[in-house]
Amino acid sequence: MAAVMATAGLLQPDAAATGPSPAAAAGPQAVAPDPAGVTYPLDCKGLPVAVVATAQGDLDGDGRPETVAAVRCDAGSGTPPHALYVLAQDKAPGAAPRIVATLLEAGRRQTTTDLAVRDGIVTASLLGYSSPEVPRYSPDLKQLAKWRWSGGKFRQELTNSDPKSV
């Protein structure tokens, strides 16, 4: 057994001879911003703000991941205001993440579900209401929204759905 272990030790590649691994040569991997380190501009009338979903990915092609955060007022019931923000991490050591874009404003009265980032595109299902008569706890519209970074800003694409399709 000792002979097998000694032989295995001799067969290990020499780190100096092989050089650093490709991952080590590329330097430290950039980390997506932590949504807990951000103050969100959501008016919750004194209630706390809750981050209900996040997705990470490189949205602008700079090689550094951004975080998309779905945020709402932590009201406990009903359909409190929801918003969708893009966060970036400054390069300075110890810098806090910052909001660089608002994809969904709270005033639109929509709720975000199924949040994802794939191939630089943000996708989310947006739940909403067909009229003021629809109870705020029972959205009856659903849209698939996509945002893509293009020409220095996020551009949105929507696919509408009919009422009662939720």
Query: Which helix (H) or strand (E) is 23 found in, with range?
Result: helix 22-25
**Model confidence pLDDT, tens digit, residues 53-83:** 999 999 999 999 999 999 999 987 777 889 9
**Model confidence pLDDT, tens digit, residues 9-67:** 333 334 344 444 344 444 457 789 999 989 999 999 889 999 999 999 999 999 999 99
Contact 69, 128 (CB under 8 A): no
pTM above 0.75, yes or no: yes
The pLDDT value given to residue 84: 97
The pLDDT value given to residue 1: 38
Tell me the CA distances in angstroms from 98 to 42, 51, 94, 102, 165, one per residue in order: 14, 15, 12, 11, 36
